[in-house]
Structure 1
């Protein structure tokens, strides 16, 4: 029986989603020959409330619940890092569990814990979302993830609706299964579109490479952050393919093996920092399955408060600055293609680390222009946007430096990742009790 890790990282109160992911775990255990390790990484102030929401899941056969606060996560990470004997253990710990919000770091913790638990795949959901329902039945994404993840693509092809995978890639194993979201846009910027569509274009187009044409940028803006629309789930559609990263979302994703080779960028306060593996899977032509059990996305009220607004806009601005480096990485990975893989069909982490190191040498002039554009656009919008523009102006050099150091940190973590994964395989999630002849691991 294989083990899988179904995980929900959260820093907000979300008992409804905690209950719902428990139901998804029960579905997986009831319909597939798996032991489900349900992992809630909880940095919120609602730990006790979430623990109560997990009550039903704890009673389900072949579902094992792990509800970890930051103290438990830190203890596990310290023991893993200690086993690798690094020269800078505190730096590695900071990259894995930073003080600031990090979408990549929280998922990296899930990856390492899944390895420690003996899970062969990781299935991630988000707290600001809910599942769709059809005729009283919940459309759990884990259904399609377990149908295909880890199987040879040639075998998985028998259980999907259509195949768009090149014959040369059918011997590879399915590395990713995913879908997108419906409901509100994935990035909370629709107010900008309503206030001024031209400003919306100026800002959103900043995540395109600097040398793209206006036509290419317009096409990117038109499909950015929108998902497949607002239509309700009416029935399953599945395609075996090299999946376009624009068609899937990290709230609705499952990975097999690739997450054990390369981590996600650990940048703090930067939206989109957790999407790197989706692009890597595409560049390496690793098989994936695209399905349509989209998750419903919604925005929490916290982002509407003044502090929440300022924090979110900072993450949004830092996303654009990160794209100087990630656009370079994506282009270089696409050029490398199959050479990203070793003889066993596994991603060569050393190649990714080298590309990340090279990207730190890029001229920052493009990012200076990005900051200029955001600042001018937000001053034009006025109100809270103008206030944020002033904050941005006061932190320009710091933000430019931070974007560059974030990618250097990513290179460092990629280089250490193999050692961390090997150490995690031999590390218990909780330390063994002390006693005669026993020592904490």
Structure 2
């Protein structure tokens, strides 16, 4: 029987989200006849962990659903076994990259990929702790419905089931590698206040996320659309598009990937860097692998922690680091876009060595080449005033370390990629018991 992994990585209290995702797991098993491994990867402090255990224990028993709650101790033990089995000479360094002490959006998803391999799953379906589901006709709108209907199936076989199809000529034999939707509600990146305060500064900062060679005629539109998701479009019936999916049209809180993708290439393990977990979305698109874009958008919201002084500062620094990382990431995306079909081997699988080469080549950019970009970001925050001045001060204090970190993050990504297929094989060999 087909087994899939529905995962919720978290480091904060989210019992309501756990209950909602538990409902989605039960729906998937009931409606599609699959086994669902509900995986909560939990980096929360002890009192929150206890609350999550209670929330998971309170889920109604559901045939076909197994529940897996991994705190950091359990995650670390699993990863130690996997790195040991892989035979990697740098096992301790790899463990640090997969379970860093700081927030890493890519690393938490990489851990889900490895656990999913150990559980024998054919896909990973990711949700986030700061999100919920829309309702329609009194029922929750679960993205897993479209994910399971299309993911892993030959594109030509499901073409008629989609509302629209724009798969490229000659790619109909390829399986659907990705299924995703976007979000409604608050912006995915918490910068709406900057937009309200000063539209020019907002455009200046968000513009740094757009590739430098983007034609000016498109730049304004891309800035306006960035991080906005589907706006306030309420679900009113299914609409799907079968095509290579643009990373700007889906969100990582609402994504599913086939195992043939994530068992070959990981996500960047960069710490304190928003957006670093979108790498595979770019790669799947550039390789012209079929994807499914749907409109079962998730509701995004910002937690109260984000409103505290410490939470605000931490998040804004993660956004700034993302803007500093973009030249490196964009250099890789340019290469993968040009490579196109050659990113795939003769079996239609991603060629990890080719991608690793592009990542290593991006390291030719010296940290100081980002100096002007850093100065632009610091000045923008200082011009915003009030508590944004504290962000500017923190950036100034960490200038040299941040410039070095974004380059080092790419070097770490290349290292992890070189060992990744050995790690996924070791995970599958290690295995994990599946029980309620």
TM class, shorter-chain normalised?
over 0.9
1:169 aligned partner: 171
Q: 1:406 aligns with which of 393, 404, 409?
A: 409
Render the CA deviation track for 1:130-152: whole Å, top value 9, x for unaligned. Answer: 00000111110000000011100
Is residue 390 from structure 1 mapped to residue 393 from structure 2 by the alignment? yes
2:106 aligned partner: 104
CA distance in 2, matches of 1:369, 1:220: 22
Cα offset, 1:158, TM superposition: 2.5
CA distance in 2, matches of 1:240, 1:388: 42
Cα offset, 1:367, TM superposition: 1.8
| Contact 2:168 2:288 (C-alpha < 8 Å) held by counterparts | no
2:78 aligned partner: 76
Cα offset, 1:56, TM superposition: 4.5
Cα offset, 1:44, TM superposition: 1.1
Q: 1:234 aligns with which of 211, 233, 236?
A: 236
2:100 partner SS: coil
Cα offset, 1:160, TM superposition: 1.5
Render the CA deviation track for 1:82-116: whole Å, top value 9, x for unaligned. Answer: 01122111100000000000000000000000000
Render the CA deviation track for 1:277-327: whole Å, top value 9, x for unaligned. Answer: 000010000000000000000001111111111100110011011111110
2:263 aligned partner: 260
Structure 1 stretches (4+) deviating beyond 3 angstroms? 211-216, 363-366
Render the CA deviation track for 1:51-79: whole Å, top value 9, x for unaligned. Answer: 22123546111100001100000000000
2:16 aligned partner: 16
Is residue 418 from structure 1 mapped to residue 427 from structure 2 by the alignment? no
2:184 aligned partner: 182
Q: 2:282 aligns with which of 279, 283, 287?
A: 279
Is residue 358 from structure 1 mapped to residue 361 from structure 2 by the alignment? yes
| Contact 1:131 1:295 (C-alpha < 8 Å) held by counterparts | yes
1:12 partner SS: coil
1:63 aligned partner: 65
| Contact 2:367 2:404 (C-alpha < 8 Å) held by counterparts | no
CA distance in 2, matches of 1:249, 1:283: 17
CA distance in 1, matches of 2:215, 2:399: 27
Query: How many residue pairs were aligned?
Result: 431
CA distance in 2, matches of 1:44, 1:142: 26
2:144 aligned partner: 142
CA distance in 2, matches of 1:330, 1:428: 34
CA distance in 2, matches of 1:263, 1:6: 18
Change (3 A) 1:83 1:58: farther
Q: Which moved more, 1:382-391 or 1:334-343?
A: 382-391
Is residue 343 from structure 1 mapped to residue 346 from structure 2 by the alignment? yes
Q: 1:428 aligns with which of 410, 428, 431?
A: 431
Q: Which moved more, 1:138-147 or 1:372-381?
A: 372-381
Is residue 116 from structure 1 mapped to residue 126 from structure 2 by the alignment? no
CA distance in 1, matches of 2:139, 2:211: 42
Q: Which moved more, 1:117-126 or 1:420-429?
A: 420-429
TM-score (norm 1): 0.96
1:159 aligned partner: 161
Cα offset, 1:49, TM superposition: 1.2
| Contact 2:151 2:179 (C-alpha < 8 Å) held by counterparts | yes
TM-score (norm 2): 0.97
Cα offset, 1:210, TM superposition: 2.7
Cα offset, 1:428, TM superposition: 3.2
Cα offset, 1:205, TM superposition: 0.4
2:372 aligned partner: 369
2:193 aligned partner: 191
Q: Say what the alpha-carbon RMSD is for the aligned residues.
A: 1.3
Cα offset, 1:29, TM superposition: 0.5
